Structure 1
């Protein structure tokens, strides 16, 4: 199946995917996923992942990867009465689950970023067998700031607080890369 780019989806050229929660205002305006700060954070994380595990993360460019969302319709507070996330019912709808499976079925490694993405993962995992599934926090600024940087972490010495949090996120990805295929 040929996938077409949309605010919620970048088909990419690699067989590694990143799943986020929902496209927002920046994604709708730019007609591509992770167009705002989350996209910047993904670029910074990929720069590290590509160096440390080039066998799995073959590029440092985010749009070389499959990127999709737990829910496909753009949502942002001013447009949706203060709501910035899809509801559980929207995520678990049969057509949404089918869409997620279609968009990820040819990927071999799937990185589920955040609680909404991990919610849809639990709903479709049995239909996405024989893949490596990695669960990490979202890459939004808010989610990154919630990561606790251990005091005196030698690998983070000299890093800014922001860089340290990106490093922690990358470490969580790398810890799960060699899991058995499900």
Structure 2
């Protein structure tokens, strides 16, 4: 997402987060970890998965915060759209999108039931917050947890995730939003909560030597939460 975002987590911070007390818990998790740099440099902003034979992508209904996919069973929730998403008109652009394309290849290979395609067009992709945020525009990169957990925002997110069987939440604000929906019976999908896919966040996976190995670890965490 555009700009520097805070929303990565450590496994220990996430494990301590029950559904009640979401704001306080997620705030602690965010404070305990480095931020995610979803802005990506212009040179990294070209490999976001657009060139995978997706002639009809983005779909006409796509907006900077939401990529619908009628009939999809799996979706991804990120934090909020930023500068690159606003420029391109679809969610999860630039470096974050490039890492999404990479993990989809692995997830599809390892768990084709939940991830039936390696192409991002075959999934719902949305954000915990619909408004574009980046410092030059809004003087910040992410929404507050209080904003994300507002009733109207959660209703919007529940509508965008309706009918899904599996949801992957990426970043602390996304974790808080999907857990709140789950706790209130507004989301029936199984959920997996992992760190944001920006390169800054992925670089925070310390037990790996390079990006490919770090992304494989990220996939390990998602699949383990789904029991795959």
Question: 1:10-30, CA deviations, whole angstroms, 9 ceiling, x for partnerless residues?
Answer: 002421010000000111111
Q: Is 2:92 the counterpart of 1:34? A: yes
Distance 1:129 1:60 in 2: 24
Distance 1:130 1:93 in 2: 19
Q: Which runs of 5+ in 2 are unaligned?
A: 1-59
Preserved CA contact (<8 Å) 2:178 2:187: no
Question: Within 5 Å, which residues of 2 pair with 1:9-158?
Answer: 9-13=66-70, 14-81=72-139, 83-125=140-182, 126-149=184-207
Q: CA deviation at 1:122?
A: 2.5
Question: 1:13-60, CA deviations, whole angstroms, 9 ceiling, x for partnerless residues?
Answer: 421010000000111111100011111000000001111111110111
Preserved CA contact (<8 Å) 2:161 2:187: no
Q: CA deviation at 1:63?
A: 2.0
Q: CA deviation at 1:74?
A: 0.7
Aligned length: 167
User: TM-score with structure 2 length normalisation?
Assistant: 0.70
Distance 2:188 2:169 in 1: 16
- Aligned residues: CA RMSD: 1.6
Question: 1:54-85, CA deviations, whole angstroms, 9 ceiling, x for partnerless residues?
Answer: 1110111112100000000110111112x100
Question: 1:137-165, CA deviations, whole angstroms, 9 ceiling, x for partnerless residues?
Answer: 11011110111225xxxxxxxxx601011
User: TM-score with structure 1 length normalisation?
Assistant: 0.86
Question: 1:105-161, CA deviations, whole angstroms, 9 ceiling, x for partnerless residues?
Answer: 2111000111010111222113334321111111011110111225xxxxxxxxx60
**1:178 alignment partner in structure 2:** 227
Distance 1:167 1:145 in 2: 12
Q: Which moved more, 1:69-78 or 1:87-96?
A: 87-96
